[in-house]
Structure 1
């Protein structure tokens, strides 16, 4: 198979963003005198969008809809101002992207992070590499729903089976399989090999440049 496009997840795949995410959510939790969390806990909270992260971070007794909405709005306001303070590309990602740019392959990003934040992070850290860059706009279209991934294929003018989807969670692998794309999991992100394989990964990468071997 000749692959014509690669779609990347963002958090845990292209960038390590867990400290900025955790710091912002902990500010919200402190505001309401709720317990805060270590970064390791936030690694288990991410992957399904910021609203889901807020729900997971709140104490179980405080997860009523009004409090979720209030904390979500506060989280978005804080995080949007500091989403690139500590967030950095993983080692080897820029080298991989530089190699991919020399090949006739289209590069895109699809994240469950809010669309405006996805664009802000990608454009700040990877200017000129990806088009289009898409985050979550409609909750019902959140990964592993393949809707947006399939729409991306139409935009890129490639078939799903000509597309590689690269991510670090089971949700990413399920998205790829639901869209009939090649599911490629990465081990430098927030989840382990067991989760990726159970999620349906067809390949596992130990280092970003391992992706070149698949091509």
Structure 2
């Protein structure tokens, strides 16, 4: 991977450990509807696709009609707005990794399926010491990962080719996004999906610690 000039990071499970706040918020939304709750670890297999996908996976199978899911999504937005920073923090080593990338003049961006407003808020609040080239979350009417268009737009704005880019994430969605964009997909072992799944999804490398990324640049 030598010679890479740009990196696109996923957010949840890659840069930030947000699982507890997401789980608590969704459980609060489910409770408001009288639905069963889930253990925090159960959400590892639910997150990554965006809030509407999360809600559809979290509600009971027999209640996954559009109206119910939309109501749970609305409740989740309210609940998450009250607790998005309760426990969420950068994973150990992430701050040092970002500093190392800055020293190497590597352009960095964030691309998440989290709502754009929350994505920008959390990066600004929890990773505010770093200047990202772009921070993009999910916007209504625009494609979400693994569609590669947003990743390719970021590369174009950086004036880099896809071959000069790395896509780093913790999910099969991220690996698929990187592959479809023609970038190098890199998985992380500290996130919410098993490294074996990332390898099967096309990860070229699995990082065991954030600082390991610097070894490949």
Q: Which range, TM-score by smaller chain?
A: over 0.9
- Corresponding residue for 2:153? 151
Deviation at 1:131, TM superposition (A): 2.4
Asked if structure 2 preserves the Cα contact closer than 8 Å seen for 1:14 and 1:89, the reply is: yes
User: Which string of whole-angstrom CA distances, capped at 9 and with x for unpartnered residues, describes residues 19-71 of structure 1?
Assistant: 11001111111111110001111111001011100000000111111111111
- Corresponding residue for 2:18? 17
Q: Secondary structure at the match of 2:211?
A: helix
Written as runs of structure 1 = structure 2, the 5 A alignment for 1:1-215 is 1-127=2-128, 128-138=130-140, 141-215=143-217
TM-score by length of 1: 0.97
Q: Secondary structure at the match of 2:136?
A: strand
Large movers: runs of 4+ above 4 Å: none
Asked if structure 2 preserves the Cα contact closer than 8 Å seen for 1:97 and 1:129, the reply is: no
- How many residues end up aligned between the 2 structures? 215
Asked if structure 1 preserves the Cα contact closer than 8 Å seen for 2:48 and 2:173, the reply is: yes
TM-score by length of 2: 0.96
Gaps of 5+ in 1: none
Give the alignment's Cα RMSD to 1 decimal: 1.1
Q: Distance in 1 between matches of 2:83 and 2:132?
A: 22
Asked if structure 2 preserves the Cα contact closer than 8 Å seen for 1:170 and 1:195, the reply is: yes
Q: Distance in 2 between matches of 1:67 and 1:138?
A: 19
Gaps of 5+ in 2: none
Asked if structure 2 preserves the Cα contact closer than 8 Å seen for 1:19 and 1:86, the reply is: yes
Q: Secondary structure at the match of 1:208?
A: coil
Deviation at 1:138, TM superposition (A): 3.7
Deviation at 1:130, TM superposition (A): 1.4
Q: Distance in 2 between matches of 1:150 and 1:80?
A: 30
Deviation at 1:76, TM superposition (A): 1.0
